[in-house]
Amino acid sequence: MSEVQSETGTEPPRPSGKPVDPRLLRYATASRGFFVAIAAIAVAQTAVVVSFAWLLTRAITGLIDGMPQQELAATLGALAAVVAFRAGLLWAREAVASRAAARVQAQLRSALVGAVGILGPEWLGSRNSAHLAVTAGRGLDALEAYFGRYLPQLVQTVVATPIIVAVMWWQDWVSGLTVVLTLPLIPIFMVLIGLATRSVQQRQWRTLQRLAARFADTVQGLSTLKVFGRQHRAAASIEQVTDQYRRETLRVLRVSFLSGFALEFLASISVAIIAVSIGFRLIDGALALTVGLFVLLLAPEAYLPLRQVGVQFHAAAEGVAATDDVFDVLDAARRIRSAASRRTGGGAPQGGGLRIEGARVVRGERMLPPVDLEAGPSAVVLIEGPSGSGKSSLLAALRGAATFEGSATFGGVDVRALTAPSWLAWAGQQPGLVAGSIAGNVALGDDSPDPALVHRALALACAADLAPSRELGVQGAGLSGGQAQRVAVARAFYRHLRGRAPVIALDEPSSALDPGTEARLWENVRALADDGATVLLVSHRTSSRGIADTVVRLEASEVTA
């Protein structure tokens, strides 16, 4: 088995179990500046809280003690300024969090797309694309709550709680000791509630992914379901999963409300204990009113940050579940890059041909027969054999859609260490067209398409009669089978003509063509090879032998279990 395959695996997501997954800082660099800014804002907010409590205490006690009117007005003015400053800090925190969430979402989406490209078609083929779509879409959108509410509150707790407790202890050690003894009860309950929340939230997230996959599969096969009268059963299946998602969502809400009540109850009881203690000592005269009122105003603020972390965790739980999935994909791609770097030493092919020695493609539990071939520039290698002999599987292995044992190198570099689009232009038996113009399909993946090369590629694929501006529907709807096949071949030709793929691999490119069109296609393939292209051609048509320099025949009888 290849090194890449063994290192990638299919491991399930592994939640970090930490308040902040350290992989967030690794894969989303925008989050680093966010934490610095939020920490600075948290320090300022803590200072504002203490100042507010002190100024309010001074105003109340001053009013009772007959403070001069001018001094009282100055205190009230300072209090108003503190309130305004606190509002400004709240706005700044929201703005910083919103911008950071947008940047992190963009970075993680970009990294996710890049990781899928690194992991290759085989990995993608083993996943449901609807799962990835939900993760990259709704899942990463949920990071808005994660960055806007949970993380700022978490940083606020780390900064504010110890400072406020220290100030309370400094003013009244009895109240400070009470906070120190009762405060750990909230994290204990938060851990217990958090475990339950994570469990129900992950079930809800998996149900949503399953619903998306079921809906996507049903829409894709709707015409077949209609033909066989099975559309009602498919609709009932979607309804069943939808109802399950509704139940999971209600379960999440129940846990959220219950946890909120538990945390509020604990905090309220703790503050009440402090208030009762202060009240008795004020009656006895053991505590000054100024100190007692100041400490009493700070007491709720000591519990509030930690309590809010538990509350906001529920709002952020969906984003946390999504990032677990994203980080799992990025970790797998990172291992692939490491394996590729060890294979190539960081280098890239500088030219040369394709060389395959003893390559045995793995298809499920089957092991296909070993294949040996060499294909250099200006050569057409024809791969023949009956159905099931592994012709298409060999091309799939070269483009990363199947694993294989043995050796396959291009330019002296193992093809498993290369991204297939960097050296291979491929047209398969399924055209794989997308909604959009014919020109967009031919130049798919090119950020700056060359209209002249699009016309030339269509002409070489015997599709000059198709207007490049013609719009197609989903999966190329609007074209016949033969037309769609020629557009797919034109796309492979375009990549080669653009200088991005020296090797062209064509899998039964003439299966839907008439003999005259097929003969013209063979002439054009031969012309491309004569101009320097390396062509791998899979075909059942005997006419293809006329353009082949080498014929490699595979036999189905050699397939082993």
Q: Enumerate the domain spans of the chain.
A: 3-343, 354-558
**Among candidate residues 475, 466, 474, 460, the one with its CA nearest the CA of residue 506:** 460
- Angstrom distance (rounded) from CA 231 to CA 226: 6
- Angstrom distance (rounded) from CA 363 to CA 371: 15
- Cβ atoms of 294 and 174 within 8 Å: the answer is no
- Angstrom distance (rounded) from CA 260 to CA 266: 10
- Angstrom distance (rounded) from CA 540 to CA 507: 10
Q: Kindly report the number of other CB atoms within 10 A of residue 550's CB atom.
A: 13
pLDDT confidence of residue 6: 35
CATH architecture of structural domain 354-558: 3-Layer(aba) Sandwich (3.40)
**Among candidate residues 494, 515, 518, 516, the one with its CA nearest the CA of residue 504:** 494
CA distances from 12 to 138, 282, 400, 465 (A): 20, 59, 22, 49
pLDDT confidence of residue 439: 92
Paired residues of 354 in beta bridges: 375, 410
* pLDDT-flagged residues of the chain (< 70): 1-20, 120-131, 134, 187, 189-202, 204-205, 209, 214, 216-217, 219-223, 225, 227, 252, 256, 258-260, 263, 310-311, 313-319, 321, 336-352, 364, 556-561
pLDDT confidence of residue 37: 87
Q: Summarize pLDDT for 371-409 with one digit per residue, the tens.
A: 888 898 989 999 998 887 788 888 888 888 888 888 888
pLDDT confidence of residue 456: 94
Q: How far is CA 31 from the centre of its chain?
A: 16
Does domain 3-343 fall under CATH 1.20.1560.10? My reply is yes
CA quadruple 255, 257, 262, 266: dihedral sign = positive
pLDDT confidence of residue 535: 93
pLDDT confidence of residue 19: 62
pLDDT confidence of residue 364: 67
The reply to whether domains 3-343 and 354-558 share a CATH topology is no
pLDDT confidence of residue 381: 92
Buried b (16+ CB within 10 A) or exposed e, 341-358: eebeeeeebeeebbbbee
pLDDT confidence of residue 454: 93
- Cβ atoms of 266 and 186 within 8 Å: the answer is yes
Q: How far is CA 276 from the centre of its chain?
A: 51
**Among candidate residues 479, 467, 484, 486, the one with its CA nearest the CA of residue 525:** 486
Q: Kindly report the number of other CB atoms within 10 A of residue 537's CB atom.
A: 26
pLDDT confidence of residue 347: 45
Q: Kindly report the number of other CB atoms within 10 A of residue 362's CB atom.
A: 18
Q: Kindly report the number of other CB atoms within 10 A of residue 174's CB atom.
A: 15
Q: Kindly report the number of other CB atoms within 10 A of residue 138's CB atom.
A: 16
pLDDT confidence of residue 7: 36
